[in-house]
């Protein structure tokens, strides 16, 4: 169990000073960081201003190395299999663009895949002559494992598995999908952007070849941070599309040598303050316990999924059997943007997920947008009920 008073006291955004206070339901977009993340980041920026960025970074070398150790602990991976980056999309594309593809190869994406992943797949298909195909969803809205089994053959080179979609509350059976993809030798790239920080993640159990995540969402880290996990054998053998003097060493007039591990997917220059802040966010999560966090998030999301449908005209749009902390809904007769804006006027933060972010899934379901409420563990049940009452008062 989480100490609710403590996590709220640790969160500056929970004490906004206004009465009755902010109801923050956008941890799937960009969450409220805990004080320790804010302090770690701001203190490092201040130190850079005092002594310059290089000396400031040199003073924190051990802490910077510890960021990967902490992430490794969180997802059960070696620190050498982690590459830090500036976003989930950067991480995803760094890996994806480095997979060799040729004419006739097949790329499989998930029906609820994120637009950035789909766009990258389409671009590479155009450039290489590979094809992009979609894994259908089953009756529950999840990745259809039987359809995937029927779809795969040895020409499938990579399968993009979407762990938790951006526009709704389902969690896909990633480990099972990975087993099927591996049966034909395909690589599996897991988009864990909406699962990392709310669900416990174990890459050894999932057995994926690569995983991408962002800092600012459920991890409660700073913006402009993210990471890529790459299976150690691949991290030691894959050639990234782009290199610099950190990802490789210039060893002779005609030669370079790649970094021995996932560091080959990183560039030298980075937001050091942001990285230290990300490390602080992961350490804070580890201290709370990922299982406790998921239990608290799930309880809040389930509360909303129980209460919202009681309101006339409100339809919860979440699919799936296993659920995440994202609660998506529509209000009959009121556009999602208007719902968001009218709630914002009452200091209640939700976002809108448009069809363009998850085009295939939304088109298949006949939706143009949904309102997205994503309560993290620091949101109180009183705040959830204030939100529900505000939604009820919209019509
Ligand atoms: C937000 C999101 C991304 C992209 O993350 P960035 O850090 O903005 O690149 C990828 N996949 C899913 C499912 C997302 O919700």
Does the CB atom of residue 191 touch ligand 1 within 6 A? yes
**What is the pLDDT at residue 367?**
97
Mutate to test the pocket of ligand 1, among 94, 96, 119, 166 (most ligand atoms within 8 A of CB): 166
**Average pLDDT over the chain, rounded to an integer:** 97
Tell me the C-alpha distance between 360 and 357, whole Å.
Answer: 9
Residue 90 Cα to ligand 1 midpoint, Å, equals 10
The CATH topology of domain 4-33+290-394 is: 3.90.1150
Banded pLDDT at 1 (limits 50, 70, 90): confident
pLDDT score recorded for residue 19:
67
Q: Which residues contact 227 (CB under 8 A, 6 or more apart)?
A: 71, 82, 83, 84, 85, 91, 212, 213, 215, 278
**158 in Cβ contact with 108 (< 8 Å):** yes
Instruction: Look at the alpha carbons of 199, 217, 239, 63 in this order and tell me if their dihedral is positive or negative.
Output: negative
Q: Among candidates 149, 147, 138, 178, which has minimal Cα distance to 161? A: 178
Ligand 1 atom at shortest distance from the alpha carbon of 215? 7
201-235 pLDDT, tens per residue? 999 999 999 999 999 999 999 999 999 999 999 99
How much of the chain, in percent, has pLDDT values that exceed 90?
98
* 41-286, CATH topology level: 3.40.640
Q: What is the dihedral of CA 113, 117, 121, 123, to 10 degrees?
A: 130
Mean pLDDT, rounded, for 258-276: 98
The confidence score (pLDDT) of residue 20 equals: 72
Q: How far apart (Å, rounded) are the C-alpha atoms in residues 377 and 297?
A: 5
Neighbours of 177 (CB within 10 A): 27
CB of residue 89 inside a 6 A radius of ligand 1:
yes
Ligand 1 within 6 A of CB of 114: yes
| pTM for the structure as a whole | 0.97
Tell me which residue has tokens 């049940």.
381
What is the spatial distance between Cα 352 and Cα 259, in angstroms, rounded to a whole number? Answer: 41
If you search the block for the tokens 């880290």, which residue do you land on? 221
Tell me what the mean pLDDT of segment 229-258 comes to: 98
Domain boundaries, the chain: 4-33+290-394, 41-286
Express each pLDDT in 44-79 by its tens digit. Answer: 999 999 999 999 999 999 999 999 999 999 999 999
Instruction: Tokens for 334, please give them.
Output: 């009121």
Per-residue b or e along 348-372, where b marks 16 or more CB atoms closer than 10 Å to that residue's CB = bbbbbbbbebbbbbbeebebebbbb
Q: Which atom of ligand 1 is nearest to the CA of 87?
A: 7
Residue 211 CA to ligand 1 centre (angstroms): 12
Judge whether 163 and 114 are in contact, CB under 8 Å.
Answer: no
CB 199, CB 164: distance < 8 Å: yes
281-326: per-residue pLDDT in tens?
Answer: 999 999 999 999 999 999 999 999 999 999 999 999 999 999 999 9
For residue 310, the CA-to-ligand 1 centroid distance in Å is: 31
């Amino acid at each position: 169990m989480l100490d609710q008073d403590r996590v709220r006291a640790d969160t500056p955004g929970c004490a906004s000073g206004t009465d009755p206070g902010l109801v923050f339901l956008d941890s799937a977009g960009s969450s409220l960081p805990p004080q320790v993340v804010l302090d770690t980041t701001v203190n490092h920026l201040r130190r850079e201003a005092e002594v310059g960025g290089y000396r400031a970074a040199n003073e924190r070398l051990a802490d910077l190395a510890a960021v990967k150790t902490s992430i490794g602990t969180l997802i059960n991976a070696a620190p050498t299999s982690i590459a830090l980056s500036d976003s989930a999309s950067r991480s995803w594309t760094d890996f994806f663009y480095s997979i060799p593809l040729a004419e006739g190869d097949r790329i499989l994406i998930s029906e609820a895949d994120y637009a950035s992943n789909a766009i990258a797949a389409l671009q590479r298909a155009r450039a290489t002559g590979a094809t992009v195909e979609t894994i259908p969803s089953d009756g529950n809205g999840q990745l259809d494992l039987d359809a995937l089994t029927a779809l795969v053959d040895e020409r499938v080179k990579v399968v993009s598995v979407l762990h938790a979609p951006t526009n709704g509350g389902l969690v896909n059976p990633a480990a099972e999908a990975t087993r099927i993809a591996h049966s034909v030798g395909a690589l599996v790239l897991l988009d864990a952007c909406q699962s990392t920080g709310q669900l416990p993640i174990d890459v050894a159990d999932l057995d994926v070849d690569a995983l991408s995540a962002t800092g600012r969402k459920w991890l409660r880290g700073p913006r402009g941070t993210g990471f890529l996990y790459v299976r150690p054998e691949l991290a030691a053998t894959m050639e990234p599309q782009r290199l610099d003097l950190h990802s490789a060493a210039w060893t002779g007039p005609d030669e370079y040598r790649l970094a021995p591990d996932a560091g080959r997917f990183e560039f030298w220059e980075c937001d050091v303050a942001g990285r230290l802040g990300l490390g602080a966010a992961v350490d804070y999560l580890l201290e709370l316990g990922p299982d406790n966090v998921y239990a608290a998030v799930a309880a809040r999301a389930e509360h909303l999924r129980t209460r919202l449908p009681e309101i006339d005209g409100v339809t919860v749009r979440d699919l799936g059997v296993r659920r995440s902390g994202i609660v998506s809904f529509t209000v009959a007769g009121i556009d999602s943007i208007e719902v968001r804006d009218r709630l914002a006027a009452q200091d209640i933060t939700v976002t809108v997920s448009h069809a363009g972010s998850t085009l295939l899934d939304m088109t298949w379901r006949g939706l143009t947008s949904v309102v997205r409420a994503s309560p993290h563990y620091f949101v109180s049940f009183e705040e959830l009920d204030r939100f529900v009452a505000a939604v009820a008062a919209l019509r």
